[in-house]
A = this chain, B = another copy of it.
């Protein structure tokens, strides 16, 4: 994994997001063990507390669960993953829509271009 952070959003959210992406995209399968706090902290060159904070977010969304000393694992509840996927997709879509409206691009042109490009 390559880690790089922007300064416009909290680092812990950026970490949580990256893990979320890995789960949603299937890179991490349901039930898979995920890297430890210490390892991720090393890789990303951040403080372990920051990673801890990120994992807290992911546990709140029920994307991962801690099994004590065994480590942390991706949830095996596909429902929860699906929920996260929709939530994440929604964020991307909102960003997309705001990007487009920022350019005063009418909706019709947007959908028209969407069709063209997806071909």
Chain A residues packing against B (C-beta within 8 Å): 4, 6-8, 21, 24-26, 56, 60, 85-86, 88-90, 92-94, 96-97, 99-100, 102-105, 107, 109-110, 113-114, 117-118
A55 to chain B, nearest CB (A): 13
Q: A24-B103, A85-B105, A96-B96 are in contact. List 4 more A-B contacts (CB 8 A).
A: A89-B103, A93-B96, A93-B110, A107-B118
Which of chain B's residues have a CB closer than 8 A to the CB of A113? Answer: 86, 89-90, 93
A119 to chain B, nearest CB (A): 11
Which of chain B's residues have a CB closer than 8 A to the CB of A114? Answer: 93
Q: Is the CB–CB distance between A92 and B99 below 8 Å?
A: yes
21 CB contacts below 8 A, A to B, read A4-B7, A6-B6, A24-B103, A24-B104, A25-B102, A25-B104, A86-B109, A86-B113, A88-B103, A89-B100, A89-B105, A89-B109, A89-B110, A90-B113, A90-B117, A92-B96, A92-B99, A92-B103, A93-B110, A97-B117, A97-B118
